Structure 1
Amino acid sequence: MPESGSTGGGLASLNPFSRRDEYSRQHIVAYRVSTIVTYLLLVITTLYYTFRKPHEGHGPHHRIWGNNVDSPFAQNSVMTSIYWIVLFIMQAFYTGSLYSSNTTYVQSAWSISGHHILSNLLLTGFVHLWVRTLFWPALLIIIINFFNLSLAYFRHSTAPRLIHIATVSGPLAWNFVALYWVGAVTVHAHHLTARIVANIFIWGFLAYGGFFLLAFKDYTMGYALSILAFSTGVGQFLTKPPVFQLQWIFAFTIGAILFVLSTLVALPGLMGREDMFARGEVVSEDRERAPLLADN
């Protein structure tokens, strides 16, 4: 296990996002403690405000799903909650990998921990703002975390599958959908014009997922966005008379397309067959390859 020292010096050694081949004992302790503390902070905060609303101060306060109002991107609370429960369980295993004796796992876990810790803190802050109906600051945090997780994706694209899903693709997929969800609530997108615009914008789910499937062969992003698209479709079906709007139809269609495409990308590897291009490789116009998401 690479615990002997740090390759960086000066300010670089203090940067939690810098690349390192070795980690000092101080770095390792800091990553382990910060990861556990911020993980528990996010889980406890999310669970608390799922069932209770804040009471201090003035203004309308709600539980997390109390602000899932009738907007063009309202989600189904049950489906998205299950999504996050599974993600939290996987993140618990990721936290355990910080203590693993497997060099590959522990190196990947330490490398990505800076982004994961920041994401936990940002999402905790988002929950506190969201339940207090401070939508604009909440949206700003979602935007910041989108860039944080996107940077984590492109910088640490060789992480083992479990770590990749728990800390990058799972949270990033939700964060992308949350840009629409929180944004629609923030700008009060309830009128007909907003719904017409939303009927166009929702296809961004397919474009975003298709990018990762095509460029990275990353079916974990495809499946995650498929689930969230279905959640949006169910949410739309239950919050608005279906006969008067098309959003739920588009959401179900996008979810189905992403599920099928993700399965087509995943099957060759799961069946031990060679795919046309190996998982995680980008194919340029001259068909050159560059390794990205490595298998476990």
Structure 2
Amino acid sequence: MQLNNNVTEFILLGLTQDPVRKKIVFAIFLIFYLGILLGNLLILATIKTSRALGSPMYFFLFYLSLTDTCFSTSIAPRMIVDALLKKTTISFSECMFQVFTFHFFGCLEIFILILMAVDRYVAICKPLHYTTIMSHRVCGVLMALAWVGSCVHSSAQIFLALSLPFCGPNVIDHYFCDLQPLLKLACADTYVTNLLLVSNSGAICTVSFVMLMVSYVIILYSLRNHSAEGRKKALSTCISHIMVVILFFGPCIFIYTRPATTFSTDKMIAVFYTIGTPLFNPLIYTLRNAEVKNAMRMLWNKKLVSDDQR
């Protein structure tokens, strides 16, 4: 379908065209991206090496950190490099690949957050059956289904993108390729594509957010029957999850439930879920989780001991 288009590359306008501001964008987002890599890789290493973090919750947290790393990597490196260039172009095939990876890892994050909510529901509301319901095999199957579902979603996005004819304008008023800015460049009626986008991305974001918030309300309500210590620990975990859900889904719902209209603030709002969420997730899950902090401390002590022995 690419051969039917006159456009072979797109120009990304980025967050700003001002030379001074572009340098500021470069410095700030380079720091942010390095923070994302450091925080999420630290969580990955901690969970992988710690026997104390072998529960299903940390199994899903491992994949959430992995997904955050890949999600931000699909956007941030190119965004940072483009901030140093006068003219930033991206080929048609690279643009389509970015659409696929962005939606794949974004959808995967949604599914993992849902699985984490399911895990907390079973752990708090059905503690006696927790190990049976959330066995390693069940967790593995659920994660595999999440990957398959994400692949289906991102494939649908690519199908919609490739169905758009591009015959003239090739300037994307954004810092990455996504369907909304591409729709503005299509030289055809995009009404049906808009509806499909809302029914796909918009529905996934909205329905998932409602499901998650309802599930956490049920979980928090059920805590009234627990002991004070158990209630405090469960409440701390659930609040961390709720903070992540709001940070991620709030901007996503704002963007993907009204794709026919674009605002000047869309680019800055997109920063919240493309860069902000992967950056804040490690902080939220470590600062509010004593088990993760203790495991990180033990990992650091082991490293110091091994260095001293050398």
TM-score by length of 2: 0.32
Larger helix proportion of the pair: 2
TM-score by length of 1: 0.33
Structure with bigger gyration radius? 2
